[in-house]
Each structure stands twice: as C-alpha cells, then as structure tokens.
C-alpha cells in the first residue's frame, strides 16, 4: 500500500512538473514583445512626459501669469493621459523600465524651481519648447519601430505635440 501511495504521489508530481514546463515556454516568456526601437521610443516618451508633468506642476505653483498657468494645466492633463497609455503599452509589451526622470532633466527642474516671476515663466516656456521639439522629433521617428502599436500611438499623438510646441512658442514670444 505504501508503494502505491508513493507511486501515485510521484506520478502527480511528475505531471505537475511537466505541466509547469509546458506552460513556462508558452505563457511565461519575459522577452519584450517589441523591437529595440520601440522599447527606446516608449521609455523616452514616458521619461519626457514625466519631466514635463513635473515642470508643469512647478509652473502652476510658481507662476503668476494666467497664460502660463493655463498652458501648464494643459500639459499636466495631456501628458498624464499620454503617460497612462504609454505605461499600459510598456506593460503589455513586457518592457522593463524604472519610469524615472533622467539626471539631466532633474537638473533642469532643480534649476527651474529656483526661479520666480517672469524669469521662471521664460525658463519654463523655453524648456517646454525644447522638450516638445525633441518629442516631435522622437514621435516623427517612431516609425523606425516595426511595432504597429508604437506607430499608431506616435501618429495619433503627433498633432497634440505639435499644438503644444506651437502654443509654447506663441506664449514665449510674448516675453521678448
């Protein structure tokens, strides 16, 4: 009787091990489901968005100019929505990322946080123009990825980035 019990337990363990091996190969592949160009795009877009959200939060609290504050609120809303979509794509494509702001952008935000008044507004808008020009270039070149989701997101978001760029330039022009 003991031998039959051990044999039965052994068979169950063997079947369990086989089931785990088969599922591992089919369902637990941790390789990213997007090419390296798509991974770089998603990571750069998230990092840029996080930077602009942080800088726009400063603008809302540090600026006295209603036009700048309105622009900053638009940035917060639009970039929060875009980052949410990008993070879903990041998860679905199995991309590892820390979703943090780069040291270079952290330094820009630190410098920006030390300014106030018209100097702050001008520095913030200059940062937004540079950031949105870089984003426009990034999103225009997203077609280098072979991933249809990356391409679709970039094409759909490009008009908003262009509008942000044009708005930042227009507001900045009033400070000269």
Condensed to tens digits (0 to 9), the pLDDT of residues 74-110 reads 999 999 999 999 999 888 887 777 678 999 999 999 9
Q: Which residue has the higher pLDDT, 72 or 35?
A: 72
Looking at the structure, tell me whether residues 159 and 128 fall in a common domain. yes
Longest dimension (CA), the chain: 93
Q: How many structural domains does the chain have? A: 2
Asked whether 83 and 137 are in contact (CB, 8 A), the reply is: no
Contact 112, 55 (CB under 8 A): yes
Q: Does one domain contain both 43 and 104?
A: yes
pLDDT for 174 beyond 80: yes
What predicted TM-score, i.e. pTM, was given to this entire model? 0.80
- Give the residue numbers spanning the domain of 9: 1-30
């Amino acid at each position: 009787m003991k031998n039959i019990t051990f044999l039965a337990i052994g068979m169950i363990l063997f079947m369990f091990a086989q089931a785990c091996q088969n599922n591992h190969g089919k369902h637990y592949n941790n390789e990213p489901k997007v090419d390296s160009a798509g991974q770089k795009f998603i990571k750069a877009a998230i990092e840029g968005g996080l930077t602009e959200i942080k800088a726009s939060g400063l603008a809302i609290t540090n600026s006295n100019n209603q036009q700048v504050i309105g622009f900053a609120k638009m940035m917060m809303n639009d970039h929060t929505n875009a980052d949410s979509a990008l993070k879903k794509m990041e998860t679905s494509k199995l991309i590892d990322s820390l979703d943090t702001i780069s040291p270079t952008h952290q330094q820009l935000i630190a410098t920006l946080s030390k300014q106030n008044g018209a100097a702050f507004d001008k520095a913030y808008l200059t940062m937004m123009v540079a950031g949105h020009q870089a984003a426009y270039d990034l999103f225009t070149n997203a077609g280098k990825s072979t991933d249809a989701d990356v391409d679709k997101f970039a094409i759909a978001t490009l008009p908003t980035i262009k509008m942000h760029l044009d708005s930042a330039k227009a507001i900045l022009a009033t400070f000269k």
